[in-house]
Structure 1
Amino acid sequence: MIRGLIFDLDGTLVDSLPGIATALNHALNDIELPNHPRDVVKTFIGDGLLNLITRALGPDHSNQQNELLAAFKKHYSQDWKDGTFPYPGITSLLEEFHQSNFPMAVLSNKPHEYTVEIVETLFPQNLFSQIRGHQEGYPKKPDPTTAHRIISDWNLKAEEVAYIGDSTVDLDTAQNGKMTPLIFSWGYGTPEDFPLLHSVDDLRNVILDSR
């Protein structure tokens, strides 16, 4: 029985690729490096900001990591607002789950301040009991430590919680934490050879049928 829901953010609840790609290319322009096409930027997403920056630079420009990181942060604080959108049907589904008394949380490898700002801006208030991005001193996914803290706060067992994501990192997080993995097909790092959810209705059916 699934009694609690933890969601990834990028590629799961929101399409954030346009904002990330725009900010990254603005930052690359600032330090006079070539831009990346959006479909290439898509392959950089999912393992946190530092990995995004490292992949964007490649080995030839790794010495400019601090420059690009600072430039990206400057641009992303504005660019995400015009390039981050909830996937169709997601908000109404979250409201349905909330009305059905599922505790819900967001757990992302995106920096914590961006995670909180995006969720609080794009979604109705009080849907999520916790919003967690990556913070210094806490391990990133696929380490399940933060997920387990959330689950403990809910007084649930890991086996009673689904982790909903879009990537191999999310699948590994769920499996490492003994949660039920539910993986959307529309995200940024979809795992191969794993059953995928292709619509919000697929997720609705899995969750409600599990009660």
Structure 2
Amino acid sequence: MTRTSFPAAVLFDLDGTLLDSAPDFVVTANRMLQARGMPEVSLEQLRPAVSKGARAMLAVAFPQMGESERQALVPEFLEIYEALIGQYATLFDGVETMLQALEEAGTTWGIVTNKPEYLARLILPQLGWEQRCAVLIGGDTLAERKPHPLPLEVAAQRIDIAASACVYVGDDERDIIAARAAGMPSVAALWGYRLDTDDPQSWQADCQYEQPQQLWQPAAWPATQPASA
């Protein structure tokens, strides 16, 4: 049956789903490379790895290094990124209109990301989201992170809406795995970051869309259970 209203709550991944943060990360990686007299990495090279996290991006920027060497670079990477966070990033086209449509319908929305919470919280005031975003769970907020369902379960608890009444939107397979394990319908954001080896069809999300604009209408969202927690 076609939905006639938006879900009671929507939880979003951040990087690659709401925020096109790849430009920030390219500048971060290139500052590290410049400091070492090494060739810069391009946006096209780094972009597919963004949703996989700092280690994956460092593997693209420093492919000649061993894993332990790259691991030692993570604090430097995060320090440089923190200093410039949001300067080059932009919302994906259509995201703001989507959020406004949800808000006008009375839908609660929040963010569940694997980005460290302190970094995710720096983004909110830049976008005017401090009051709009009802809950924020970072990758270090809890004992587990996605693909474990705990972050989604706790987010639902904090907004006092049953997980089965929420929808989770993310651009990585771990997002869909976490949602399924939490009993939460999911949307695969195909406009985000993916490696060539990723196959979104195999993730088995309830819905998948190429653009945020496709989520402007209630009928686009997957079916959910009643909102009582």
TM bucket, shorter chain: 0.7 to 0.9
Note the alpha carbon deviations across 1:7-41, whole angstroms, 9 max, x for none.
Answer: 01111111111111110121233344443322221
Pairing 1:200–2:212 present: yes
Shift of the 177–77 alpha-carbon distance from structure 1 to 2, 3 Å rule, reads same
* CA–CA separation in structure 2 for the residues paired with 1:192 and 1:65: 28
1:11 aligns with one of 9, 16, 29: 16
Tell me, what secondary structure is at the counterpart of 1:134?
Answer: coil
The alpha carbon displacement at 1:101 in A equals 1.6
Pairing 1:139–2:144 present: yes
Shift of the 31–62 alpha-carbon distance from structure 1 to 2, 3 Å rule, reads farther
2:66 aligns with one of 61, 64, 68: 61
Deviates more, 1:196-205 or 1:180-189: 196-205
Tell me, what secondary structure is at the counterpart of 1:60?
Answer: coil
- For 2:53, the aligned partner's letter is G
Alignment of 1:43-192 (within 5 A): 43-54=48-59, 56-58=61-63, 60-135=65-140, 138-189=143-194, 191-192=199-200
Contact conserved, 1:48 with 1:111, CA < 8 A, in 2?
A: no
Give the gaps of 5 or more residues in structure 2: none
Shift of the 172–56 alpha-carbon distance from structure 1 to 2, 3 Å rule, reads farther
Q: Normalising by the residue count of structure 1, what TM-score does the alignment of the two structures yield?
A: 0.85
* CA–CA separation in structure 2 for the residues paired with 1:91 and 1:144: 27
1:40 aligns with one of 17, 20, 45: 45
Contact conserved, 1:185 with 1:198, CA < 8 A, in 2?
A: yes
Question: Percent same amino acid at aligned positions?
Answer: 19
* CA–CA separation in structure 2 for the residues paired with 1:53 and 1:140: 20
Tell me, what secondary structure is at the counterpart of 1:81?
Answer: coil
CA RMSD, aligned part only? 2.6
Contact conserved, 2:54 with 2:77, CA < 8 A, in 1?
A: no
* CA–CA separation in structure 2 for the residues paired with 1:127 and 1:7: 13
The alpha carbon displacement at 1:82 in A equals 2.4
* CA–CA separation in structure 2 for the residues paired with 1:179 and 1:208: 10
* CA–CA separation in structure 2 for the residues paired with 1:112 and 1:124: 15
The alpha carbon displacement at 1:55 in A equals 5.3
